[in-house]
A and B are shown apart, each in its own frame.
Chain A
Amino acid sequence: MLNNLSQIFDPNSPLLISMPIVFLAFQLLFLIAFALYVIYAFVIIRQTGLMARTVSAPLEKPLKILAWIHFFAALGIWILAFMARV
């Protein structure tokens, strides 16, 4: 991917590191942080199920569906971030 050091360091860049590398680092950090959120979104699904078992109320089903939508949306954003190119 990177053939030589000139692709990493750029004396004209304000950070002295070429901007594509900065963006790549930014993307990597975002992917790691958002992966944790995707896990949390899955925990919400489990917890909603547990709460519904404890208390059975009229909005039980819509909330379960919302929790699944939330999880898939989180997964979608993670994939979108993974596919993003400079």
Chain B
Amino acid sequence: MPEVFNRKQSKAIKTADKSTVLKSAKPSKPTFSAFSLLPLNFQFDVQHSEEQVLLLMRQHFVTQAGWIFLCVLLLFLPSIVPIFSFFSFLPASFLTVLTFTWYFLVLGYALERFIVWYYNVYIITNERIVDVDFYSLLFKRVSEARLDRIEDITSASGGVVQSFFDYGDVMIQTAAEVPEIEFEKVPHPDLVTKLVSELTETPVQRKK
């Protein structure tokens, strides 16, 4: 397994030589990263044996600030506002259950949001682009397009927050079954556009 991994990694570095974006990139662990060039220890289920992941993206961490802030607020709310005092007419055992339930639901919500963010990934390989969407824990959609079927790439970034944190959308028009693949709120949209452009100029064909 390590030999296969090393072979894959060296091939990824060979592909990297053809791209100015990947040339200076070092393989990195995509543990919490929203933008990981040449990610280590990362695979996806429809990956071909000779296919190498060049870029792994998730939505920018800033876009998750809303639910993180909400969870922190809800966790500390009982110590700021005595919300449980409204239920003081309940027996002590009921109040204990209610308190546990409050904190548990907040942490459960945080877990669900984190899982959805973590597994919602956009992948660029030396053969194609893949968009894995989990709309919630119950709905999943995987779209992909081969690099040689990409027709047009557009990146859009607007507003103070997006400009400040350098993130935005990348729309990729394809001639494949899925006419457009959209990478939403990804970090460094200009770099992504540049990388896809370079790869589509010199696509590496998979040896069959």
Contact = CB atoms under 8 A, between A and B. Distances in A.
Secondary structure class of chain A's binding surface, majority of residues: helix
Contacts of B32: 59
Interface stretch (B68-76, B78-86, B133-141, B190-198): B133-141
Interface residues of B, number: 33
Contacts, number: 92
Interface string B104-119: 1101100110010011
B121 interface: yes
Contacts of A81: 97, 101
A56 interface: yes
B104 A73 contact: yes
Given A27-B94, A44-B115, A58-B41, A51 B134 contact: yes
Interface in A25-77: 26-27, 30, 34, 37, 41, 43-44, 47-48, 50-59, 63, 66-67, 70, 73-74, 77
Contact of A43 (B91, B101, B138): B138
Contacts of B31: 57-59
Given A34-B101, A77-B100, A84-B94, A63 B115 contact: yes
Interface stretch (B42-50, B166-174, B179-187): B42-50
B96 interface: yes
Contacts of A43: 137-138
A50 to B, nearest CB: 7
